[in-house]
Structure 1
Amino acid sequence: MPTRTHTWLFDLDDTLHHAHRHVFPVIDGEMTRWIADRLAVPAEEADWLRRHYWQRYGATLLGLIRHHPDIDPDAFLTAVHPLPRLLAPTHPAAGLKRTLARLPGRKVLYTNGPTYYGEAMLAALGISRHFVRVIGVDALDHLPKPFIRSYRRLCRQLRLQPRRCIMVEDSIANLRTAKRLGMKTVWLRRHRRGHAAADVLLSALHHLPLRRAWQ
């Protein structure tokens, strides 16, 4: 069992809640509309750019920053995270509150979304009290996971030692970087096939806390 000196780094979307059911379709649609409007391109081209930048750079925002330096990253993040639409309805992971309540150690939300979205989603899920900090991409100079500089900035800001951190994610790409830094890693996926970057493979979040993985 982790001691209280451990810090849990939780991803948000498709980790603490099922973002693919509602949040991701809303965000994707807003991204496409924003790109089409700002770059004055047809919706089909805007949708292609959204997916292309995400596949090439790991985040649509990074592609926009690199290829369209005149855009305002924070304006983009605000436009594509319309809180009233994103927060209703919510789809929390099964046993979410009970799982967080019984986990020892500090808990930090580390999301590629903006900080205010992370804070609002935690509040909507009723789990804000379990987290000591929320760190969004806007707090890390708009550098998202899985870039190692993003993790290092996070650790510097919070004075964390990577070897005392446990990262819980649905993305193996993000866990690869965490593992490289010496963090313990938990991969949430339905299938049984594991990966070298995942110390623990879980089919659902409520299977935490874990017994021997952190000894």
Structure 2
Amino acid sequence: MKPVWLFDLDNTLHDAGRHIFPHINNAMTAYMAERLSLSIEDAHALRGHYWTRYGATLHGMVRHHKVRPGDFLEATHRFTDLASMLVFDKALLRHLRKLPGRKYIFSNAPRSYVDAILRLSGLDRVMDGSFAVEDLRYQPKPAVVGYQCVLRHLRVRASDCIMVEDTAKNLLPAKRLGMRTVWITPGSQPRPVWVDAQLRSARALKAPPASASGRR
């Protein structure tokens, strides 16, 4: 069987670190400072703590401060000119088209942002669909609920899936469920035991061997 590819979006298929992430991080810090009556410095530290502990600032804000997920995401993902901030290698489109199997985005970002990035990059013409945080019942990676939502919606087994991510800890639940895992990282960090392949770029992805794609 051909595999089902699950791609993270930011820093996996485009470079969000250059312009987009700094903008979102500043917006989150400003939101937290105002909402929680914190200094910018304390809000920044708390945001980092929540991201480290939960994998997403959203999870910490909802769990500890009863923030409405939609309100938080809408306030922190506003862009006046997202197109000018996008750093994307168009050659990746041709490479992804050559990979066998179905391809989906699996992102912690809100729907409006995911759709905008897909449209601006041209990835909407390559992907078979996408999952934003709203589709995960606001349970972002690495919460296992989100992975289970994706599998149920696609009606596939985890063993049929290949998950491609830039955040290594988000690959751990995928591996535990039975997916094959690919870590996209430009550095030379040691490869965790739950990572099957470590690549510098998504352009280095290859079709799995026939025996692997059909393994149960």
TM-score w.r.t. structure 2 length?
0.91
Please give the root-mean-square deviation of Cα atoms over the aligned residues, in Å: 1.8
1:101 to 97, 100, 113: 97
**Contact conserved, 1:96 with 1:206, CA < 8 A, in 2?**
yes
Deviation at 1:83, TM superposition (A): 3.6
Distance, in Å, in 1 between the alignment partners of 2:162 and 2:207 is: 11
**Contact conserved, 2:108 with 2:141, CA < 8 A, in 1?**
yes
**Do residues 20 (structure 1) and 41 (structure 2) align?**
no
**Structure 2 counterpart of 1:90:** 86
**Structure 2 counterpart of 1:127:** 123
- Residues 165-206 of structure 1: CA distance to partner in whole angstroms, max 9, x if unpaired? 111111111111111111111111232742321112211111
Q: Spell out the pairing of 1:123-162 with structure 2 (5 A cutoff).
A: 123-162=119-158
**Do residues 201 (structure 1) and 173 (structure 2) align?**
no
Listed as ranges, the gaps of 5+ residues in structure 1 are: none
For 2:111, the aligned partner's letter is: T
**Structure 2 counterpart of 1:113:** 109
Distance, in Å, in 1 between the alignment partners of 2:106 and 2:83 is: 18
**Contact conserved, 1:192 with 1:201, CA < 8 A, in 2?**
no
Percent identity over the alignment is 42
Distance, in Å, in 2 between the alignment partners of 1:29 and 1:79 is: 11
Listed as ranges, the gaps of 5+ residues in structure 2 are: none
Q: Spell out the pairing of 1:2-17 with structure 2 (5 A cutoff).
A: 3-4=1-2, 6-17=3-14
- Number of residue pairs the alignment of both structures matches: 211
- Residues 50-88 of structure 1: CA distance to partner in whole angstroms, max 9, x if unpaired? 11111122211111111111x221011011111434432
Deviation at 1:12, TM superposition (A): 0.4
Shifted more, 185-194 versus 72-81: the winner is 185-194
For 1:12, the aligned partner's letter is: L
Distance, in Å, in 2 between the alignment partners of 1:15 and 1:35 is: 27
**Contact conserved, 2:93 with 2:123, CA < 8 A, in 1?**
yes
1:42 to 34, 39, 42: 39
